[in-house]
Amino acid sequence: MGPDRAALRLRLLARRATAGVVRRLPVPVADRLRRRARDPLLQVLRRGGIPAGVATFTLGDNRELRFVNAESLVLHQLYWFGERGWEPQLLPWWRGCCRWASAILELGANVGYFTVQGARAGPRARYVAVEPYPASARVCRANLALNRVASVELLAAAAVADGDQATVELRVPADQLAAPTVAFVGAGSELPEPMGRHVTRTVPVPAVDVRSLLDGVDLLKLDVEGQEHALLAAGREHLRARRPTVFVEVLPGTARLRRLLAELCRDDGFCCYVPRADSLHRLEVPEILGAPLLDRYGCQDVILSAEPQLERRIRDADAMGRDRAGPAPGGDQRRLRGQ
């Protein structure tokens, strides 16, 4: 056994041991810990998942939202940390864009956290969410129902750039939970090599041509584990003609995606921004091509938009939404990392 595989085995054993403790926690005890414990302890508890006695839970900093208990890193983070537990820098900008969008396409919905947030922010928008991994799609559907979100059409399929593909095979590494955050299509992927090691599951899933989903879309979100460049390239004609606002994850080493984003800014009238807690930072082409986003800005998602006053428009839409819904809860905007 090599050192890399040995380290993986130790991590899995430690996670299993922590889960054995956390799953036995009485729910009232867990609730007190969620309210009062400091972050280092919460991070340890998160590695053990959610207590078995919890069927559904509200977020500690947003009681209006409720989610099911499932084996998911996203849900474990949300249970212990609330909204600040999953991509907190991105969330307010996503909600703000959803408030003025008319047609939203989310590629890679996972368990539906951003889907619920976006659909509640923009309930009148036509919203299509695409999630290929079967267990994640089931949890996503349950979370939509739990939050009484009826405006979302959920497609249990993988968006692909090649319209001739009827199915694709998802590859899942050994360290992933039942509803994985990393389940990737191997062919043509820019997924960083460490994230794709030790694949132990392969799952065939239906495929859908991304171009068939783009009609009328003015807000697009992609989190598709290394396939972002291929899907954006396939939809280039729509991007030129419609100029939607695009939220896209930019993982380390995704050179083809970065080149495409730079081309869209140089040739097609887009600007590229990285979301921060209280502002959008515009990236110039050299930063798009080479900046270490997570280390420099604490976030590895960017927003691509041809809207000349994007930040002002999002803030205006967000303010209108808050006037209707009441004040939004605050939260620490730093990104929490780790499996």
Q: Sign (positive/negative) of CA torsion 263, 265, 266, 269?
A: positive
Examine the domain organization and report whether 233 and 149 are in the same domain: yes
Cα(261)–Cα(148) distance, rounded to whole angstroms?
36
Among 38, 34, 107, which residue's Cα sits nearest to residue 77? 34
Examine the domain organization and report whether 41 and 185 are in the same domain: no
> Quick check: helix, strand or coil at residue 197?
coil
Among 16, 27, 92, 20, which residue's Cα sits nearest to residue 56? 27
Cα(172)–Cα(201) distance, rounded to whole angstroms?
5
Q: Taking each helix axis as running N to C, give the angle between helix 3-22 and helix 39-47, from 0 to 180 degrees, rounded to the nearest 10.
A: 100
Would you give per-residue pLDDT tens digits along the chain (339 residues)? 677 888 888 889 999 999 999 999 999 999 999 999 999 999 999 999 999 999 999 999 999 999 999 999 999 999 999 999 999 999 999 999 999 999 999 999 999 999 999 999 999 999 999 999 999 999 999 999 999 999 999 999 999 998 889 999 999 999 999 999 999 998 889 999 999 999 999 999 999 999 999 999 999 999 999 999 999 999 999 999 999 999 999 999 999 999 999 999 999 999 999 999 889 999 999 999 999 999 999 999 999 999 888 998 888 776 655 433 333 323 333 333 345
Examine the domain organization and report whether 55 and 149 are in the same domain: no
Residue ending a domain, among 84, 115, 145, is: 84
Residue with tokens 């414990």: 37
At 1 the pLDDT is: 62
Cα(82)–Cα(62) distance, rounded to whole angstroms?
7
At 320 the pLDDT is: 53
Examine the domain organization and report whether 95 and 73 are in the same domain: no
Residue ending a domain, among 51, 84, 117, is: 84
At 2 the pLDDT is: 75
Examine the domain organization and report whether 131 and 78 are in the same domain: no
Among 96, 42, 26, 64, which residue's Cα sits nearest to residue 303? 96
C-beta separation of 270 from 306 below 8 A: yes
Q: Sign (positive/negative) of CA torsion 176, 178, 184, 190?
A: negative
At 86 the pLDDT is: 96
How far does Cα 103 stand from its chain's mean position? 18
pTM greater than the 0.85 cutoff: yes
Would residue 109 count as lying in a domain?
yes
Cα(267)–Cα(196) distance, rounded to whole angstroms?
33
Examine the domain organization and report whether 259 and 134 are in the same domain: yes
Residue type present at position 9: R
At 223 the pLDDT is: 96
The pLDDT tens digits of the residues spanning 136-166 come to 999 999 999 999 999 999 999 999 998 889 9
Cα(63)–Cα(339) distance, rounded to whole angstroms?
25
Residue ending a domain, among 84, 101, 130, is: 84
- What domain count does the chain have? 2
Task: List the domain range (segments joined by +) for residue 47.
Answer: 14-84
Examine the domain organization and report whether 232 and 285 are in the same domain: yes
Examine the domain organization and report whether 198 and 288 are in the same domain: yes
